[in-house]
Every structure is written in C-alpha cells, then in structure tokens.
Chain A
Amino acid sequence: MTKPEDSALIERELAAVDEALASGFADAADHGGPDAYAAHDADERELRALALALAADPPQAAPEFERELGRRVAQAFPRERAKAKRSALRAAALRPSAWLPKRLPKRLAPALGVAAAMVVAVVVAVSLRDGGEESTVKSLSSQRSSKAESTGRATPRDLPAPSERTAAPPPGPAQPGFDPTRRERRIERSARLTLAAPANRLERLGDDVTGIADRYDGFVLSSSLSTGEEPSPGGTFELRVPAGDLRPALRDLARLGTVRSRSQTGEDVTVRYVSLGDQLQGARAERRGLLRRLERAGSASQADALRRRLDISSRRISGLNGQLKALRASTDYARVTVTLEARRGSAGAPAGSGDGIGGALRDALGSLTASVELLVRALGVLLPLGLLATLGWAVARTVRRRHRDAALS
C-alpha cells in the first residue's frame, strides 16, 4: 500500500512531469513563470528534463503513409463503406432495423433484448409448471371425446382393463407417471382430493367429476352427494382412472373448485405380481403333468387319486388367476377419492365467478396471485440465466484481456 508521504511525492512529481510536458521547458524560469516555479530543486529539474527528453523522441510516421491514411479517413474508409453497404443489403430482410421504425432510439435495443429474454423465461416457466402435459392431455381428451361421440357412451365397467385391451402399451407420447423403459413395473396408485365450492354448485360439480372419469376412460365406483337444504352439504366420489391418466385427471379435477387438500400415494407391487405369475406358471405346469399321468394311469384307483390332485391344482390355478387379475386391475386403474365440500358462507352465491363485489375482488386477488407466481417462476429462470451469461461474459473478457496483456510479458 502507498504511504501518505509517498502519495504526496508521487502527486508532486507527476504534476511536475505534466507541467514540463505542457510548457515544453525543463524549468519554469526558462519560460518566464512566476518566481515560485524558479525554485525547482535539481532533482525536479532532472525529472522535468527527462520527461521532455522522452517526449522529444517519438517515432515519426512517414509523410506518404500519413497522407494516404488521411485520405482514407476523409473518404470514410471507402472500401469498408462499400463492403458495409453490400452486407447491409444482404442482411436487410433479417436486420431488425430494416423493419423497426427508423427513429427507434438505440437505447431501446437492450430493453427489447431483456423483454425477449423475459418472454422466453415466461414460456419456459409456464411449460415447467404444466409439466409439458397440456398438449398431450388435450389430444387425449379430444380423441376420447370423439370416440365417445361416435360409439355412444359405453359404460366404463363394461370396458376391459387397459392391459387387456392391448397386448402392449400403445405407442406415442409417454404417459405421465410411467417409465416406458420399465413396462414391467406394477404400481398401485391412489389419490385423495378435497374440493370446495359454493353449495349451489355441488350438484353440477358432481356431474363434472363423473364427466372427468368418463373422459379418461375411468369410472365411478361409488358416490354419495347431499345438496339442497341438507345441514352439511357435500359428497364423496370413489373413482377409478387409468393409472397413466392419473395426473391429467387430477389436474382437471382440481380445476373444478378450490382445492382444500390433495394427497397421492403409490406402492410398487411388482415383486408380488411377478411372484404370482411364477406361481401360476408352476401350477399350470403341474396340472399339465397330472393330465399326462392321468392318460397313462394303469388302474382306476390311480386315476381317482390323480383326479383329486387335478381338482386341487385347478382350484389353486383359479385362485392365483383371481389374485393376479385383481392386482392387475388395481395397478391399471388408480383409486381417486374426491370429497366435495360446501364453501363456508357461499350457500346462496350464484354459480360462476362468485358473489358480487366480494367474488370479483377474490377473483382479482386470485389473478394477481397467479401473475405474481408466474413472475416469480419467470425470474427463477431468468435470474440464473442472466447470472450465467454475465459470468461468462466477465470470464471471457478477463481471459481475452489477459491473453492480450501476455503479449507484453
């Protein structure tokens, strides 16, 4: 660190150098300065003389070079200008200035860049929030709606389980919750959802819950709903939804009202499923062996004994088959329990967005909250990206500067 006395010395001597360069004289007395300047000590005079000697011996440019460069400057570097004109013509269609207003201030460019980055961040944030399911769900829904319209409303119970309808999972987009590379995994899924809505909307809500189950080729296992003048209006719906459609179905259900609670569980029963399959295979093999032995039975008593064993084997096969089917059904379909509750103080509220000014204010607050959430998500993407870009730029700048400075080493 520089000491104060050193700082004073540095300041004084550098000022003397500047003064000598400005005046062109080694001593102030030489150019008739005030008497105070005449008091330069020998050291300072030597310093001033050195400064003048250094400045007096600069490399001189050749006059022809100076003339030539001066001409090019006067002509605004003609070669560059022509080149720039050609490239400008080529890039006219792509260059923003070609279609942006000519008077657009240049300082707007960074703002436009930031805006574009924010739009990208918002798009990314929205897609992250929806988990990229929107398009898949829409297409699935539309396919199913059109199928239902063309074939009539088939009872979901009459439909075979998804695994029985097709030998292999259908090709196309991966279903959420399933790993396509691990088709053999068997997972029992269940979810509970509690929705609140104005009491006078509960009945319609019940219909919507059933509609969503239908939309995803699921079914309502049981339901109970009390509305009207009941002291505690509400209801419960026990749904079965194809496991692959659980997430979009839950999302659609959550949109029907205010979500009070939501929980989801999953249990991997693959080991049990595989074990049952192996047992069934073994029982069938045993049965085939017994049948072969029965064909070759030498006596009536031996045949009777084999028949008894065959009966036992058949019962075992039947039992294992039943267990396997039940397990398959419980993994092909997820259990969804939807509980509907009447929102407090909203029994007389009209259907729709809410109850007058209060409802409107709640809606406005909801919209504001959603906007803030979106903004926070966008910032969550934008800030790290911006930090990374800034860091990269700073590192590149430092590296470039060091590389250049290394030329002086």
Chain B
Amino acid sequence: MSEAIAEPMALPVKPLEAESFGDLYERTFSRVYAYVGSLLRDRAAAEDVTAQAFERAYRKRRSYRRGKGSADAWLFGIARNAALDELRRRKRHAGLHSEPEDADAAATAHEQAETALRRQVVRAALDQLEPRERELVALKFMGGLSNTEIARVLGLSESNTSTKLHRTITKLREACRDEA
C-alpha cells in the first residue's frame, strides 16, 4: 500500500539514499516515537509501530520524492499509517485495551511542585480533546513538525491545518483554565 502524502509538486526528484536515511533516523527517532506513543498510549505498541515505520520507510526510501514535501513529513506519514493500522487492529480485538502511558513518577517527584501541577493540568486537558485533535497536538508538539509538514502528513491544505491547530490549542487553553 502506498503511503500517500498530499499532492505532488513539480520539484526536483531525488530518492532518499541509504546514507541519508541514517541521518533521518538520528534526526527523527525520538520525535517519531513520541508522536506514535502519544497516539497509541502503549509503550510496547509504540515500540513495535516505531520500528515498523522505520523499516517501511527504509524499504520505500527510493520512492521518496523531495517534490512531495520534506523527508520528515514523509516519514511521519508512514508512521501515522502504521499507528492508525495498529489502532484499527486494536479496535477489532476488543479484548485488548491500551494501557496508559506510564508517567515518569520518579522524575516528577524530583520536579518542582509547580511544574508537576502544570503537567497534570495539561494531561487532564489533553484527555478532554477529540482523538483527531490529540493527533494534531502530537504532530505539532511531540513530532515537532511545521504546519506545512502537518498539512502534508494529514493530506490537508495548509490554511485548513492552521485553522484546526489554532482551534485545538484554543480548546486546550480553555480546558487548562478549567482544570486549574
């Protein structure tokens, strides 16, 4: 299955070579894992899907075209498809349910109380978002993608993506105020 990401553009065509794939991995590993982990909220599944995404990307590296956007957006598109496939699989197997992402309790204990409280508030606000909104947040803040790259990953226009992102952040701010 093709990992379709947004519309093509007439820009120079250059495949992703093996040596630059290593650079891509170094640059994106933690962000891809964070994004996938935010979507799945299951450490084991996040590891499987992240590994799967990089393997798929490696296999398909020759199909990458610069004209279709940045390599990061391309890779996140693959990771997104893998994560959504995993979510669908989980929905089919009703017995399986995701375990919450384990909070780093040891770390929070050492953090200042204000920071810990803020983190709790943000997590509670995130829980109030729709899954699609949470995905936007994950792509922006965990994946560290630009708005253009998010638009590529989701197959939306840039202005539409910006509007949706702004709406989500506004909702999140209000939820944070309510939680606080």
Contact = CB atoms under 8 A, between A and B. Distances in A.
Q: Is chain B a partner of chain A in the same complex?
A: yes
Contact of B159 (A2, A56, A106): A2
Contact of A46 (B2, B131, B173): B173
A168 interface: no
Nearest to B172: A50
B78 interface: no
Given A58-B30, A400-B1, A404-B84, A73 B162 contact: no
B112 interface: no
Helix, strand, loop or mixed for chain A's interface?
A: helix
A36 interface: no
Nearest to B85: A404
A409 B166 CA distance: 20
B122 A57 contact: yes
A160 B146 CA distance: 89
Nearest to B46: A59
Contact of A11 (B31, B47, B146, B162): B162
A14 B55 contact: no
B88 A406 contact: yes
Helix, strand, loop or mixed for chain B's interface?
A: helix
A11 B169 CA distance: 13
B122 A53 contact: yes
A50 B122 contact: yes
A73 B25 contact: yes
Contacts of A76: 18, 58
Contacts of A62: 43, 47
Interface stretch (A63-71, A89-97, A120-128, A306-314): A63-71
Given A407-B91, A408-B132, A51 B141 contact: yes
Residue with the greatest number of chain A CB neighbours at <10 A, chosen from B81, B141, B162: B141
Contacts of B37: 58-59, 61
Interface in B23-45: 25, 29-31, 33-34, 37-38, 43
A53 B1 CA distance: 37
Interface size range of chain A in the complex: 35 or more
Nearest to A53: B122
B122 A54 contact: yes
A21 B141 CA distance: 8
Residue with the greatest number of chain B CB neighbours at <10 A, chosen from A61, A66, A400: A61
Contacts of B2: 397
A9 B58 CA distance: 40
Given A55-B141, A58-B30, A66-B29, A73 B58 contact: yes
A50 B169 contact: yes
Residue with the greatest number of chain A CB neighbours at <10 A, chosen from B37, B131, B140: B140
A95 to B, nearest CB: 15
A401 interface: yes
Interface string A11-24: 10110011001000
A386 to B, nearest CB: 17
A404 B81 contact: yes
The 8 A-B pairs of least Cβ separation, nearest first, read: A59-B37, A58-B34, A407-B87, A54-B141, A404-B84, A408-B131, A10-B166, A61-B33
